[in-house]
């Protein structure tokens, strides 16, 4: 619902800006002059509403991420471990920076999961779940996990698989929340 309201205000301010521009160019100015006060109020409401909705926007919360990850049938315990690490990220960077980090993941993982030892630990504990995601990605993309993780080739293969699987699941959850 928020997205519809946000788009309404953005459209309203865009239309009003167009009308004022056309008026300034002398196209349809007789109508603009007649309804100038009304049009001015609509433009102001559109701009203010668009600004407010942009500020309220779609913030990425850990609760929403948890809900999305569980909808994706990820192992509940693995999801809880990931969410615990995300809480650490949020506490360290603050809510605004956390939101920015999550929006810019692009199939990578937050810094708390870049630690190779932590990733290997998660693999040992949730090997079956991680392998399930990796296999699914290999099928979907028709690329081996080795090719998909070439940029982190220096890491242990268990850590690479964890980063691939978690990066995919988090990015999917964020994309779903934003759309």
Q: Cα–chain-centroid distance for residue 33?
A: 43
pLDDT digits (tens, 9 = 90+) for 125-149: 999 999 999 999 999 999 999 999 9
Q: Cα(first)–Cα(last) distance of the chain, in Å?
A: 11
pLDDT digits (tens, 9 = 90+) for 8-31: 666 666 666 666 665 655 665 565
Residue 79 has pLDDT above 80, yes or no: yes
- Confidence (pLDDT) at 62: 87
- Confidence (pLDDT) at 25: 58
Q: Cα–chain-centroid distance for residue 126?
A: 25
Residue 52 has pLDDT above 80, yes or no: no
- Confidence (pLDDT) at 117: 94
For the chain, give the percent of residues with pLDDT over 70. Answer: 68
* Region for 144 from its dihedrals, namely left if φ exceeds 0, alpha if ψ lies in -120 to 50, beta otherwise: beta
Averaged over 50-62, what is the pLDDT?
Answer: 65
E-strand stretches of the chain: none
């Amino acid at each position: 619902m928020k997205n519809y309201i946000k788009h309404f205000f953005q459209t309203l301010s865009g239309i009003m800006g167009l009308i004022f521009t056309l008026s300034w160019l002398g196209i349809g100015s007789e109508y603009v002059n007649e309804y100038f006060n009304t049009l001015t109020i609509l433009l102001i409401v559109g701009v203010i509403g668009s600004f407010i909705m942009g500020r309220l926007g779609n913030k990425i919360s850990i609760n929403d991420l948890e809900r999305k990850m569980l909808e994706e049938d990820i192992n509940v315990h693995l999801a809880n471990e990931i969410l615990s690490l995300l809480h650490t990220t949020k506490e360290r960077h603050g809510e605004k920076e956390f939101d920015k980090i999550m929006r810019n993941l692009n199939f990578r993982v937050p810094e708390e999961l870049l630690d190779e030892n932590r990733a290997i630990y998660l693999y040992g504990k949730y090997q079956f779940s991680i392998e399930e995601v990796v296999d699914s990605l290999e099928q979907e993309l028709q690329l081996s996990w080795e090719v998909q993780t070439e940029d982190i080739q220096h890491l242990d293969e268990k850590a690479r698989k964890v980063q691939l699987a978690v990066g995919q699941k988090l990015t999917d959850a964020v994309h779903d929340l934003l759309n």
